[in-house]
Structure 1
């Protein structure tokens, strides 16, 4: 009865309930849950803006379900928002952490105009005495705000076009630990892409300006690729690292004989590091990455891409596309204070950052003058050990960009 009352009043005020465990089915509760289960509901406004989507406003209620240690191991967040381009959107998001070794999440979303999204993701490291890690991601989505400006780092703002990027498929991987710090990863990826008219009427449709000969893949494509990666990691947490280093070398191969639209290969090298000071009140975080795509008639969305909330935060998603990219991210994560709100303890962080990156045909055509320099500032609420809410504001040559989301950018 109390949880029902919380649902009815969530739009007006937050409340904390102690609910019998039998009344909360799996996976909302699990063997790590107490009895009764502590449930905190927090209503929040939604005000977000990004270069591609524009301004979005609405409201959500976050239901935070705690375990025996009074840590959050389940998040359920229904929300409703409005965007002039997509109309009204209803979304249900869930994240579940039954144990430190197991994680899965889902997102269900439907807009009155163009957009929709169905995603399920999991990570499980419980096999073979925690030596085998399995990851899976299945998805079906349509994004009516997608943009294409042309290839190369010099692609002008005036070349901007819009389309609806409809994608469906899966991505699975298995990683086996070798010793304490090394991991060998095998992966399989299948993705189908349809390119349709988008939701931004003020911009030209991509196929009205470009042809399939100019831009392979704009009439749709299929990618079926196999991946091999070697990983080194001394990070103290897979989700919220404050100390350690990470390095990955990977190669991915796409073949027509296995169903892909074109033959091509991806090569990637990535390093990350986290250096704490003053008992991790200050954490210097950096990432350095190089990506290269080799092949002929490679679909435009399968090439090396920069732009968006995890790469160049001064631009919208997929702003720069070419055969290669070079990327450097540097930020200082500063814990300002620790605050308990509605029985939930959160670390509030400020994160000044700099993103530096460029796309190019190959590393041999590296030109320092082609690099984008994106300074910015982030604000994060960190609820350990699992949840991070963040707002990042970056500045690029196209103007400021604002991103709101979950998780660290890297």
Structure 2
């Protein structure tokens, strides 16, 4: 279960001091209506005043990964559900479904033991009385993460660049350990990881199709310290941007 109080601050109509670009004189400037206010007035979103968001979450998972921090083989298949409910004090009432499958596979275990193909596919749907700020939050057995864009979903696009009622994405990584060494009794492995990410959002589940997806690709380096600690360095590019990521742990 989770209980939270959410605050949304807007600056519509507030006055601040600006400098005239020609004369250099300080003049008062009044903030115009924000896009959030415009969308709320048009009936496109709710939740612009924040509020209490309380929900229960439950799920089921099938996990055969041989070593969770850096798996070589196995599956993780999971489904979870989030239900925000007025009966437990929430100002909003909605339900989110999330399902994903991860697979780790060594195609040539005898010839190339250090080569692993890692894949993930995920789909989520949210419906009901949903505040605008909640569309971007996803939850899995591995922890929370954001919607499409950023290091955890669609690298090469800005963090949470795309989100909506229905979100789907697919990730592919070719993980190849190129060497290992020891430093001060610490065992270090290095992996080169070319990757490809694709995904998009929809308004309804029946809108899901094979058109107009967003694509990103890149290459990364994994520094695996004593097997359990993974340091990630990724360079990714898309039609919109080129981004570099540094993080702890695999993307998935």
Q: TM-score with structure 1 length normalisation? A: 0.49
Of 134, 141, 153, 1:302 maps to: 134
Secondary structure, aligned partner of 2:211: helix
Query: May I ask how many residue pairs the two structures share in their alignment?
Result: 216
User: How far off is 1:190 after superposition?
Assistant: 2.6
Among 152, 159, 168, which residue is 1:326 paired with? Answer: 168
- Superposed displacement of residue 382, structure 1: 0.6
Counterpart of 2:80 in structure 1 is: 250
Distance 2:238 2:215 in 1: 7
Aligned residue for 2:36?
A: 210
Matches of residues 8-407 of structure 1 in structure 2 within 5 Å?
188-196=1-9, 208-211=34-37, 212=40, 213-276=43-106, 277-278=108-109, 280-296=113-129, 298-303=130-135, 305-407=147-249
Secondary structure, aligned partner of 2:7: strand
After superposition, the Cα gap between the structure-2 partners of 1:381 and 1:214, relative to the gap in structure 1 and judged at 3 Å, is: same
SS of residue in 1 equivalent to 2:163: strand
Q: Name stretches of at least 5 consecutive residues in structure 2 with no aligned partner.
A: 12-30, 137-146
Distance in 1 of aligned mates of 2:226 and 2:51: 41
Q: CA deviation at 1:206?
A: 11
Instruction: Report the Cα distance in structure 1 between the residues aligned to 2:52 and 2:156, rounded to whole angstroms.
Output: 30
- Structure in which a larger fraction of residues adopt strand: 1
Alpha-carbon distance, 1:345 to partner: 1.6
Give the Å deviation of 1:307: 1.3
Cα distance in 1 for residues equivalent to 2:54 and 2:172: 33
1:337 partner SS: strand
Question: Counterparts of 1:321 and 1:356 in 2: how far apart (Å)?
Answer: 14
More deviation in 337-346 or 233-242?
337-346
Ranges in structure 1 where 5+ consecutive residues have no aligned partner: 1-187, 199-204
**CA offsets 1:288-344 (integer angstroms, 9 cap, x no match):** 111000113x11232253111110011122111110111110111111110223432
